[in-house]
Amino acid sequence: DAGEKLGSGLQKQVDQKLDRIEQLMKQLGLLDEPEEEMMDDELPMTRAHSDDDLLDQFEKMDFDSFGKE
């Protein structure tokens, strides 16, 4: 953070740890993929609903029949 350079051994260790973290995040689905890699079957993001629309949708949900299909 302070702009100091790490020794080559320490830098290599840090790079390995960061690569491993990135690999684990991909496996867990926590790493966002760049937009150009979007699959053909994925839909583009739609307009976000307003808070009122989301509340209305939530209030109209039938939780009694949830999971009974």
| pLDDT by residue, tens only, the chain of 69 residues | 577 888 889 999 999 999 999 999 988 888 776 655 555 555 555 666 788 888 888 888 887 876 665
pLDDT score of 3: 74
Q: The tokens of 21 are what?
A: 């973290």
pLDDT score of 4: 80
pLDDT score of 48: 64
Number of Cα atoms under 13 Å in the Cβ half of residue 19: 6
Question: In the chain, where does DSSP find H-type helix?
Answer: 8-28, 51-59
pLDDT score of 57: 86
